[in-house]
Structure formats: structure tokens, C-alpha cells
Structure 1
């Protein structure tokens, strides 16, 4: 029986904790929630976040939902150790996801894979990998982009151009420590990453997660994201893929989501969340959880798996 605690405010206790070892030897902290053998989801968090970012989805899907939810800390985040200067890249993201899938899922087992922000970029980076194709039944991309992240960012209220791009790069890649969570830091975080109607409780939760990210990993990944260009890999996402984005997202504005949908070979469409910012799984947990449940029901339930087997016979 799962030891997951379902009540809001109580700690989440995984059924299992695992360690995945990536291609370069990096170790990744993995948590599994929910009953063994249940339909599975694998969730990848974004830049400066951790497994805690998916708490709402874990409670709903692995608790009353009866699904098995796998989450992991991206390298340098949460309980996954930092790596050397050359260990941060989109290829590393793909390597890490393949390692997590091989560690947490049975051979040939298919699951819904979802990624927020850098986690979505992880899905796109891994799209052509054998491990991804073995295990991905469907994908959900939340608040993410494939290129021009700095140039399209609306974090700084300036006219688009070289100056805004240069200043945005400096802000997002700042080496200064974030320091303690304060009223000012929460206000700045809300402005940059969340919609104007986000509750103080959710802003505070987001701030606790982001401020816990080690500075070295935050800076290293900001440099990778600043040069990101994985648009060609989007076309390798051959599984059914849904996209969710907030209309008030300043970090990855809707232009990115629309470009991704246009490039997908098997798009399930774009869900636009009015007034929601960049942190969609935390800001609009009901909408994200509902989409995940829909994908699992359609593509991973026993009925869906049986139909898939019949089609291949």
C-alpha cells in the first residue's frame, strides 16, 4: 500500500526512493508514489525547481487517483548532486531522462511523460532517444519553448531588441545568491513567473522551492537555456503530445507554445490558461492534473494497452 499522505499541508511520503545513474555517471534522485503496477506518469520539473513542484499532481494522481507517479530532481537540483562544468547540456537532460525511465519503469512499460519549462525541454531533447520511444505513450509539455528563450522573454518591460535581450540574459544568469525568502523577493518572483491573480500561498510555495535551488546549478542551467535551440527535435516527438501554457507567462510567452504545436507531428492541441503565468502546475494544478489524467486514461490504461497490442498483432 502506498504511504502517500494525501492531506494538503502534510508531507508527501514516496512508496519508493531510487537512484538513477546517467550516461556520464551522474546520480539522480527519483521518487515513486502510488501503487505498484498502476498506470504510470513520469514528471520532470523545470529550472530552479525540484520534485516538490509536482506536489499537487502527486496528491491527486497517486492519492485518490490510484496512479503511479514518478518524479525526479534534475541534476544539480533538489537531492540530485551538482556535476562538473561540462555536465550541463540538453544532451545531459536527455541522458538523465532515459536513466530515470530505465530505473523506474519495467522494460517496455509505457507511461505519460510530462515536463514543465526545462522539463518540457527535456522531453523534446530526448524525443529521438531509444529509451524515450520505448516508454513514452503520450507527452504533456507545460510552459516551455524550443529556442529564442531570452529574446522572446517579457520579464523586462522593454521594447524587443538587442538591449532587452542582453539585459534579460544578465538578469536570468545573475550569479548573486537569491538569499532568504522575503516580501520583496516574493513580489519579484510573482511578477516574473506567475500570473497577477496567483494567491499569496502559492507564491510563497513557489518561492520556497526556487530559493532552495543551489546557485551553481541555477547559473549553469541559465547559460544552457540562454543558447537553447532544439526546435528540430520537436519534430521527433512522434507520440501524442498536448501543450499547456498561461496567457500571462513572461518567461516563455505563448509564441513558444504555438510554435511547438505547429511543429509537432502528433499534436493534441494547445490549452491556453487565461491569466496564468509560467508556473502552470503550481498556479493551475487542477487544469494540469486534469490533462494528465486524460492522457493516462486515453493512452496508458489497461484498455488502451490492450488495444495497442491488438493493433500490432
Structure 2
């Protein structure tokens, strides 16, 4: 189906699984598409209603409308998808990877999120200071490294065809050292398929991302997932988000995994989503206001 965002942008949306099953909404990251979630969709769709969509300009969603590229547009598009694909009165567990997690934070103040999200998952993501904290380019001093990361994020350079060299670069930048060749191949093809203008447009949004103030507005139960070998959004992001969330159900660290956790270990990510669905997915009552934040539970999967 197609959801129509506030500025008229058309958002390609897919619905998988039984219509009356517990619902899950999946938001992918920068330069990815619905294809990125394929292992998670396959695992969940037998007994869940899985809603997955292409962020504007990615996959089958056309380039941005008048609203362009911004965190506001991310929130608008998510709200449009939830309203179009989730029947009235139904709630869902929302999971976002990388820029998809930033989408959930950007939409935290939207009434539709507060009313329709039973729980949330922030997977391999961060709220701010992305270029300062990234470890893709091991340069010193930190200021030089940050400048290099800024140039990388905003680049319009063509990626070219998928080659053995480009796959090695994708593995190094986005995945853990144990990633299998087939998974690297899939990720490389997804990343290379993103139009360079779209990649640069969203990259400029990520350069100066500042969503720290929105984390406290994610009042629904929220899990945080991170790979210990993530160079793009290192663990310090996950720890900061877990500490700031009003209701963090746990910080799950996946040893040796990089940034692409949903494809590197789909069973672990799917397990977290299933757990939230089982505990909170059928709840229809509004989330109570939180006056005291519970301590985040840290665990290693």
C-alpha cells in the first residue's frame, strides 16, 4: 500500500502476516530499504502483522516532496504509515534501526505515537553527536576524525557497482568481523542501491542531529539494542539513551556485532521484539505518566 505523508510524499508500505495478529512496525536506517528487514519479517510474519516501509527516497518510496529531508519529515512519514496501515484502535510495537530509531525519537511528541505505540525498540542508533562519536575512520585528533566523518556523511560520490573491495569496506564500516559473506553481500547491494542524492540529503540531516531532548518523551516501554563492535553508533550512544528513557526495559549488548544487528543476528533482534509484543503488545490502556525513571536493565545476549 501507499501512505501519504503531510507534505504529499508517497511512502511505500508493506503488510505481512495475519491481519488480526499482534502488530509490529519496522523503520529502516539510512541508505537501506524494506529489504533490510527481510530476516526479521520472515521470522515474525507467521504470527504477527508486520508493517514495514521505505523511508522517503529509499527503496520504492519516491524522492522527497516539498518537506524535503529533515527529522520532522521522518516523524511525518512514520505517523502517516501508522495511521494508514494500523486499523483504528490497534496498537503496535515499533522498532527502528539506525535512522529508523532516530525516526521514533523524532516522532516522540506526536499524539499518534503516544496512542498507537505499545512499546518500542531502538536498535543500533543514536540521538546526537554522530560524527563526533563514530569510529569508522580511525583518525586523530578527534576533531580531524569528526571532519572526515562529516565529509563522508554528506558525500554525493557514486558508490559504483558491488565489488570485492566494496564488500570489504561495507563489512569494515557497518558489520562485525564475524559477519558471513552472504550477509555482507546482501547489505552491500542494499546500500549501493540507494540513490546518491538521497544518501547525501539524509546524510546532511544526520550531520547535525540533535534529538536528546526527545528521548524523555518516549514514555512507552522501550528496549535498546547495540552491537559491541558498532563503529557507526558506538555503545556510548546506547548507554546514553538507556539512561534517559523514562521506561527502559533493558539494554541488550550483542557481542562482536557491528551496526547491522537486525541482519547480523536477526534471532536476537526478533526475540526482543517478540518479548515486548508478549508483555505489552495487547495493552490498550494509555501509558501512565512516569514521575520516576526505573533503572535500565543491562544484559548481554
- TM-score range with shorter-chain normalisation? over 0.9
For the 8 Å contact 1:109–1:134, the answer to whether it is kept is no
- Looking at structure 2, the residues matched to 38 and 59 of structure 1 have their Cα atoms a distance apart, in angstroms, of 15
Unaligned runs of 5+ in 1: 1-17
| Offset at residue 160 of structure 1 (A) | 4.8
Structure-2 change in CA distance of 1:32 and 1:187 (3 Å): same
Question: Which residue of structure 2 lines up, in the alignment, with residue 13 of structure 1?
Answer: none
1:120-163 CA distance string (max 9 Å, x none) = 00000001101111110000010000000011000001235211
- Looking at structure 2, the residues matched to 262 and 295 of structure 1 have their Cα atoms a distance apart, in angstroms, of 19
Question: Which residue of structure 1 lines up, in the alignment, with residue 293 of structure 2?
Answer: none
For the 8 Å contact 2:93–2:117, the answer to whether it is kept is yes
Structure-2 change in CA distance of 1:165 and 1:85 (3 Å): farther
1:166-216 CA distance string (max 9 Å, x none) = 111112222111111000000001100000010001000101111111111
Pick from 268, 281, 293 the counterpart of residue 300 of structure 1.
Answer: 281
Matched, 1:106 2:81: no
Matched, 1:171 2:152: yes
Residue range with higher mean Cα deviation, 177-186 or 158-167: 158-167
Pick from 12, 19, 23 the counterpart of residue 6 of structure 2.
Answer: 23
Number of aligned positions between the proteins: 287
Question: Which residue of structure 2 lines up, in the alignment, with residue 284 of structure 1?
Answer: 265
Unaligned runs of 5+ in 2: 289-301
- Looking at structure 2, the residues matched to 258 and 111 of structure 1 have their Cα atoms a distance apart, in angstroms, of 25
For the 8 Å contact 1:151–1:160, the answer to whether it is kept is no
Matched, 1:46 2:29: yes
| Offset at residue 84 of structure 1 (A) | 5.0
Residue range with higher mean Cα deviation, 103-112 or 237-246: 103-112
| Offset at residue 226 of structure 1 (A) | 0.5
Residue range with higher mean Cα deviation, 236-245 or 85-94: 85-94
Question: Which residue of structure 1 lines up, in the alignment, with residue 212 of structure 2?
Answer: 231
Pick from 231, 234, 238 the counterpart of residue 257 of structure 1.
Answer: 238
Matched, 1:191 2:172: yes
Query: What TM-score results when the alignment is normalised by the length of structure 2?
Result: 0.93
Question: Which residue of structure 1 lines up, in the alignment, with residue 197 of structure 2?
Answer: 216
* Residue aligned with 1:270, SS: strand
- Looking at structure 1, the residues matched to 66 and 21 of structure 2 have their Cα atoms a distance apart, in angstroms, of 39
- RMSD of equivalent CA atoms: 1.3
| Offset at residue 30 of structure 1 (A) | 0.2
Query: What TM-score results when the alignment is normalised by the length of structure 1?
Result: 0.89
4+ residue segments displaced more than 6 Å: none
